[in-house]
């Protein structure tokens, strides 16, 4: 299955990211609960890319490690960046219109979570969920 | 623009969310429901989310907002039909849906709303009788 890149410019694109991640999660053989978790995490992160990163893209991949299969998503934007990542990961922290669960909540729903951000340069969040 | 249909069922409003909700659709639903609660003097709002494959914090916030607005307008909101995988994910995400009452299915949700309407009617009658 080829890598899929979804631009994130509008609210409809967030829905498109969800649909693509679902397709990959099924292909990776994830169970229904794991599918739901990674799709929900992707939805939170795509919304962050849209609202805080001023738009960007999601790149979705199937990944293999030994016998394990999984799905990995990289969210990238060229927005203002996150000045304090530790603070942004705390529940209840919000600078936008969500419930302040986006980043921390998304991290709990993934097996792997990495975030790189630089002020004025943008943010890259990489997540993965394994079967 | 797409809109989510709202059905009137006695003194309740019934909403079945069958599409993947995006921002504008969620906002339109909030507005439409608010208008119709007032228009029909509805006492309850039943929201069926059995078709939703996920509930993220945005959709959660929309549901919580609707419940809050309805409360201010003297109507109860019951969310029904949440899928098990969605419930598990919601809890892990940390979403608690403040002010939103839930029921397993539409039948039970409707019973909750009917109970509330009957209780309200009874109280009203008591008050009127007490006044004489």
Q: What is the DSSP-derived secondary structure letter of residue A96?
A: S
Assigned domain for B42 exists: yes
Distance from the B24 Cα atom to the nearest Cα atom in chain A, whole angstroms: 8
Per-residue pLDDT, A99? 47
Q: Range of B22's domain?
A: 6-131
Percent of chain B with pLDDT strictly greater than 70: 98
Distance from the A107 Cα atom to the nearest Cα atom in chain B, whole angstroms: 9
- Distance, in Å, from the CA atom of B107 to the CA atom of B120, rounded to the nearest integer, reads 20
CATH number of the domain residue B67 falls in: 3.30.750.24
Q: Report all structural domains of chain A as residue ranges with CATH numbers, in order of start.
A: 4-130 (3.30.565.10)
Provide the number of structural domains found in chain B.
Answer: 1
Interface of B with A (CB under 8 A): 20, 22-24, 53-58, 60-61, 64, 83-86, 88-89, 92-95
Q: Return the number of other C-beta atoms located less than 10 Å from residue B5's C-beta.
A: 10
Assigned domain for B105 exists: yes
> For all residues of chain B together, what is the average pLDDT?
91
Assigned domain for B97 exists: yes
Per-residue pLDDT, B132? 55
Say whether pLDDT at A97 is over 70: no
Per-residue pLDDT, B1? 60
Say whether pLDDT at A93 is over 80: no
Per-residue pLDDT, B15? 96
Buried b (16+ CB within 10 A) or exposed e, B42-68: bbbbbbbbeebbbbbbbbbbbbbbbbe
Per-residue pLDDT, A88? 81
- Distance, in Å, from the CA atom of B64 to the CA atom of B54, rounded to the nearest integer, reads 16
Tens digits of residue pLDDT in B23-66 = 788 889 999 999 999 999 999 999 999 999 999 988 998 999 99
Task: Report the pLDDT averaged over residues A89-105.
Answer: 66
Tens digits of residue pLDDT in A22-81 = 999 999 999 999 999 999 999 999 999 998 899 999 999 999 988 899 999 999 999 988
Residue B126, both tokens: 């008591």
Percent of chain A with pLDDT strictly greater than 70: 92
Assigned domain for B125 exists: yes
pTM: 0.89
Per-residue pLDDT, A89? 82
Assigned domain for B1 exists: no
Please give the helix or strand (H or E) that residue A8 lies within, else none: strand A4-8
Assigned domain for B111 exists: yes
**CB of A81 closer than 8 Å to CB of A117:** yes
Among chain A residues, the shortest Cα distance to B23 is held by A11
> For all residues of chain A together, what is the average pLDDT?
90
């Amino acid at each position: 299955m080829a890598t899929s890149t979804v631009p994130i410019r509008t609210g409809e694109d967030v829905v498109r990211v969800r649909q693509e991640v679902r397709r990959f999660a099924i292909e990776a053989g994830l169970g229904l609960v794991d599918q739901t978790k990674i799709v929900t995490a992707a939805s939170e992160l795509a919304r962050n890319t849209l609202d805080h990163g001023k738009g960007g893209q999601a790149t979705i991949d199937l990944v293999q490690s030994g016998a394990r299969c999984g799905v990995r998503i990289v969210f990238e934007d060229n927005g203002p960046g996150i000045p304090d990542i530790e603070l942004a990961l705390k529940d209840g922290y919000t600078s936008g219109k969500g419930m302040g669960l986006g980043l921390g909540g998304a991290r709990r729903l993934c097996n792997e979570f990495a975030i790189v951000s630089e002020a004025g340069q943008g943010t890259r969040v990489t997540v993965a969920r394994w079967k | 623009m797409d809109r989510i249909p709202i059905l009137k069922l006695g003194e309740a409003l019934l909403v079945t969310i069958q599409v993947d909700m995006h921002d504008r659709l969620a906002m339109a639903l909030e507005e439409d429901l608010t208008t119709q609660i007032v228009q029909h003097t509805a006492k309850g709002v039943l929201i069926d989310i059995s078709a939703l494959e996920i509930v993220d914090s945005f959709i959660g916030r929309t549901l919580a907002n609707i419940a809050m607005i309805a409360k201010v307008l003297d109507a109860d909101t019951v969310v029904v039909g949440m899928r098990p995988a969605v419930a598990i994910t919601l809890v892990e995400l940390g979403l608690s849906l403040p002010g939103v009452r839930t029921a397993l299915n539409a039948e039970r949700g409707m019973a909750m709303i009917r109970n509330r309407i009957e209780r309200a009617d009874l109280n009203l009658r008591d008050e009127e009788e007490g006044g004489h």
